[in-house]
Structures are given as C-alpha cells and as structure tokens.
Structure 1
C-alpha cells in the first residue's frame, strides 16, 4: 500500500473532523463554557495536520479492494483518536481507554457509555457525542468521496472504500459515478435529519435537545443527554422519535427510488417487508407480554414500540428500564439486537438482508434433499442473488460468531453474570448501546475492566465496518505493496 495515498485520505478525514468540531465550539460559546477553548484548540491543530497531509496529491489515487478496506479502518481509528482528545483535555473523561471507548461508541453509532450521569458533562461535549453519531451514521469516508478530487476513470476503484464503510452484504451505485452516489446518499441523510429536528422542535422539544436527540436518532446512535433517557419527553415526542428511528433503519436506496417515483420498485423490497414485519410482530408480542405489568394499553404499545424501534435499528435510546420486563420480552429484544436494521441504512447489527439470504439458502439446502437434481438459487426481489454474495454472507456469519464468542470469553474474565457479559458484547459488536443487567439501560459500562473495554472498543469498530477492514489490519500480506 502506498503511503502517499493513505496520507492524502487521512488528511482529508482530519480536515473534515476539524470542521465538525466547530459545532461544539459554537455550542460552548453560546453556553459560555471553558470546554470551548479545548475544542477550538484541537480543531485548529487537527486542521493544520490535515492540511499538511493533503498538500501533495498522490500520483496514483486508485484503490484496490484491500487498500480501500485498510484506508477505511485506519481512517476510523484516526478519527477516534483525535475525537477523544477533547474528552481528556477537558478532564470530563480523563482516562485514555475510557475516552477512546466513549468516542468510538459515538462514531460507530453504538451509544454504549462509560459515563453514569451525562448531566455532569458540558453542553459542548454532549453535542460532540451526539454529533459523532451523525458523522458515523452515513460514514465519514462516504462524505470524503463527495469532495475527493478523483478523476472519472478512477471512480470504479473508490467503490472499495464505500463498500468497506457501508453496511450490508453488497453495495451498489445509485448512479454511474461513485461521487454522485455518495452525494445523493448524504443529501437524503441531511434532509431527513433536518426534517426530524424541525419536527421535534415544533412538537415542543427544546432546541438544544431536539438537535442532540435528532442527531442521535438520525445516526441511530443513542447517547442520551440525560440520565433519565428519552423517558423525560412527552408521549407524542416519543412517537416522533420512534418513527424517526425506524425510518433511519431503512435502506436509503429505497428513499432514492421514492424520489424517482419508482414506488413499485421501492415497496417490493423483500428486505423492507421483512424489516417491518419483524418490527410489527415484536411489538405485538411484547405488548401482550408486558400489558399486565404496565396496566395501560396506550403506555404498553408506546413502550414496546419505542424499545423495539430503538433496539432493531441499534439506536439504543430508552424510555423505560426493560430489565424489569418479563424474560419473554427481554429475549425478544436480545433477538432484535442480533437481527439489526436494513442494509444501506445507518443501523447496525447482522442486517435483515443477510438474515433473509441465510434463511433462503438454508431452505434451498433442505429442498435439495427432496429434489437433488433441481437447481436451487437464492432470489431476492425477483432477482438471483449472486453466488459470491451468498458465499460472503455465510463467511460473514462464521466471522460474526467467532468474534462474538472470543469477545464474550474475554469479557467473562470480569466474572459478571452471563446475561451481563453476553449482552455487553452483543450490544457493542452490533452497535446497539445498552444491553441487559449490568450493561442495561439504566447502567453504564464503567464497571467493566480495561481489557473488556478495549475488547468492546474493537468490537464496535469491527461491527460498524463489517468486520473485514479491522481484521485486515492484522494481516501482514495486506500491507505489502
């Protein structure tokens, strides 16, 4: 891999991050906080370093698959290292491993926190945590692709960067040029975010809360701005947040088809039907199960809808302590954590599309026992799923289970109960946020050991970047030119 290409991309990432830090700077100025100057200093220093890195354009700017994946992994690590500096320098999160855990949780849209009480944080830091969700939701490299000076004959190579950062088993172009595809995606993302924030303000939410909660909802992140979570807001605001979370868990390609008025193509998506079907079934089952505990039909449906929407989209906001729910409901939520949202959305998890492909492939294997001579292929939306996509999906499942198992084994050294240990790994690897018991919605990850926090930090990055880019960092052959 050529160092000049890596330097150039990392430089752009740093410059973008520096510009993003101006938002907490403005917030700090408005609230007259000392943290303002820390964020300003880090932003200026970061922009200078980024500018130096981008002074000279590399002669070769095309990317092979492994180079694109490595660039994405290293960019996210650099993004996190710089992003945690304000936490340490302000003294709000003084320990390096805690600060790294917190900012990685932000950028990967996980929302797991080591801060027991967010109320003690400055307004600037709370905004930076929420804004990191929005940055990571669509992906910083996707944004870089919209402004990176790449010639048209190199456009095909940049899809490797987009594929490494975009969630799902397969990534395609909406339009012929990757740069235009990235611009369309970010345009839809930006407009939907603004609509959500404005709607929350009209609904009566304070402007600061609407911005921070809106950014977290759009990025399907989940950092709460209060120790009371989203339960402090009125029921109609919770409904808006629920709809928002579910909307941002939908593949953005569907929104593009709707803009083109290709409604038939948009709504015939099997993944969309499966996604909405799982949500409806989960809400109904949990509502029946907790009705006796809640005692009110409206509150029952509201609570179950909010938590189902929050968990399946891996947002992680909470309005109630679902640790107090019956085991049946908690197991459904645990299953939703594993399921995740749609491919091509800002949500994390295994993804509905992969689940559908795995299930259809398993059914085909069963049919082969009945009719061995019949040719069985996996189809979605009336089209044959290519064999390499099916193979990569099965490979991903193997890696997914392996990392989950190894991480759970490492975290178990803390000697917490099984549900706390497994759900903590599940919640971080699938970028959800809260888990169960000690990692539950009213708890924090502060009590886990340094080794466990570092393991879960890796899990968050691996889960957000679809595993492969992070694993390539440990492969010597991937670094050879």
Structure 2
C-alpha cells in the first residue's frame, strides 16, 4: 500500500509543473494574469500539495521500500491517470471554457490518452493558453506520463524492477525493450527521441508557413497522434496557404513517426538498419 501511495504522490509532485507553460503562453498573449493564476497555478498548487501529502504520509508509514509487484504497478498507473485527468480538467473549469466537471474531465482525459475526442465546438473562440494546455496534454500523454517518471521510480521505489513494472503497466501489449542496460537511461532516451522529433516538426512547420504558436500546438498533437487543433476547421484552416500540401505531408509523416515503436527510432539513429528493417 505504501508503495502505491508513494508512487502516485511522486508523480503528482512533478506533473503540476507542466501547468506553468500555458500560464506563460497566456502572459505572452496578454491574457488576464488573475484569470491565468486561477486557471493554471491554482490547480498546480493543488496537485503539488496533494502529492506532497501522499509522499509524506507514505514516508511516515514505513521507511523501507520493497520492489513493486505487478498488481501494485498497475494500480499506480490507473490511479495516476485518473488523478492527472482530474487536475488537468480544472483549467477548463476555472477559466470558464467548460462549466461542467464531466465535460472538463472528458476533455482532459481525451487529451492525456490522446483519444482526440472533444466537447468543444468553437475552437477559434478559446484562449491561447487553454488551447496550448489542450495540446500539451496530448504531447505529455503521447509517450505516457508513466514513462516520464520511470527514471524517478527506478531510484525511489525499489530500483529498476519498479520502473520496469510501471513501464509494462503503462504500455501493455508492447515489447518493452531496453535500449540501454539501465532502465532510467532508457526512459531518458525515449524522451530524448521524442524531444528531437518535436523540435524537428516545429522547425519544418514554421518553415512551411505556420506561425510559431500553431506550429508548436500542432506538433504536440500530431506527434502524439492525438489530433487536437487550434482552429475549428482543424488543418483545413490552412488550405489557402501556398504550402498547404506540404504542411499536410509534414503532419502525416510525423504522425507515422509518433505511431512507430521508439526502439525502432533508436536503432535507426544508431545505424542499425538490420534491426530496424526486421521489426518493420
């Protein structure tokens, strides 16, 4: 029990820092600072406080730590997804974008699970900060919140076995190959590849004619294969741009990149064509 509580608490202490980014975006677009504090910083403080309480409680309960069992890893994954979706729903409600918790929770969970379904109708009328948060939830969920935390759990919750169980709980049905011997280094490499692909797509989209904001948001949602957009017409909004076909091609290519096992990307970067072609 203490490992589950500590694991969930650890993630909740780290996740709220992601809410800083839409807050900064809102300031850059001269949105009301008080509204931004209410919509993003308040939920972040709530999540951080809850995470701190859970980890402190688990620490007082027992100072020793054993390796996680598979069932405990699955519970951490399930509980974490729900709590993160709840915290992620608060910006929609506190900003007035969505008034009901059910709709806000649906939008949040759809983002983090990269489902792509939405209850928002008029996307163009939404604030830049909310649309950025909406896109960011898909980017975070694209590789999996749990994978991001594997390195942390490998140290805090019983060593490499704990991290491996969490990764298996996060991506069931997939082959959980280690790129390098140490699992936490594998997690870092996964996010390193994800970051490289993200930066590359942003550069290509801006070069093709998208403004930086749209390029970043669409990169977040295409690479994660989630599909949220910054306009009601989605990518059809750019149909009148001279490079519209090129923009659509970039979207398609990076959605394919995002759907491919990242171990294959790693093999490709290493020049291991035999392993790459064998698994494709």
Distance 2:156 2:8 in 1: 19
Query: Structure 1 or 2: larger helix share?
Result: 2
Which of 106, 112, 117 pairs up with 1:112?
A: 117
1:237 corresponds to = 247
Distance 2:268 2:166 in 1: 26
Instruction: Kindly indicate whether residue 138 of structure 2 is the aligned counterpart of residue 140 of structure 1.
Output: no
Q: Please list, as runs of the form range in 1=range in 2, the aligned pairs for 1:450-461 lying within 5 A after superposition.
A: none
- Larger Cα-atom Rg: 1
TM-fit CA distance, 1:266: 0.8
1:131 corresponds to = 136
Instruction: Kindly indicate whether residue 28 of structure 2 is the aligned counterpart of residue 27 of structure 1.
Output: no
Structure 2 residue runs of 5 or longer lacking an equivalent are 239-243
Which of 241, 246, 256 pairs up with 2:256?
A: 246
Q: State whether residues 153 and 163 of structure 2, in contact with CA within 8 Å, keep that contact through their aligned partners in structure 1.
A: no
Instruction: Kindly indicate whether residue 252 of structure 2 is the aligned counterpart of residue 263 of structure 1.
Output: no
Instruction: Count matched residues.
Output: 268
Q: State whether residues 68 and 158 of structure 2, in contact with CA within 8 Å, keep that contact through their aligned partners in structure 1.
A: no
1:189 corresponds to = 194
Superposed CA RMSD in Å reads 1.8
SS of match in other structure, 2:159:
helix
Runs of 4+ in structure 1 displaced over 6 angstroms?
A: none
SS of match in other structure, 1:21:
helix
Instruction: Kindly indicate whether residue 104 of structure 2 is the aligned counterpart of residue 94 of structure 1.
Output: no
1:469 corresponds to = none
TM-score, normalised by the number of residues in structure 1:
0.53
Distance 2:45 2:162 in 1: 32
TM-fit CA distance, 1:47: 1.9
**CA 1:151 to 1:19, structure 2 compared with 1: closer, same or farther past 3 Å?**
closer
Which of 73, 92, 95 pairs up with 2:78?
A: 73
Distance 1:85 1:166 in 2: 26
1:36 corresponds to = 36
Instruction: Kindly indicate whether residue 215 of structure 2 is the aligned counterpart of residue 215 of structure 1.
Output: no
Q: State whether residues 62 and 158 of structure 1, in contact with CA within 8 Å, keep that contact through their aligned partners in structure 2.
A: no
2:241 corresponds to = none
SS of match in other structure, 1:254:
helix
Q: State whether residues 154 and 183 of structure 2, in contact with CA within 8 Å, keep that contact through their aligned partners in structure 1.
A: no
Distance 1:152 1:29 in 2: 38
2:52 corresponds to = 51
Distance 2:208 2:21 in 1: 24
SS of match in other structure, 2:227:
coil
**CA 1:229 to 1:160, structure 2 compared with 1: closer, same or farther past 3 Å?**
same
1:227 corresponds to = 232
Instruction: Kindly indicate whether residue 177 of structure 2 is the aligned counterpart of residue 158 of structure 1.
Output: no
TM-fit CA distance, 1:116: 1.2
TM-fit CA distance, 1:264: 1.1
TM-fit CA distance, 1:61: 4.4
Distance 1:67 1:167 in 2: 15
TM-fit CA distance, 1:159: 1.3
Distance 1:243 1:259 in 2: 17
TM-score, normalised by the number of residues in structure 2:
0.90
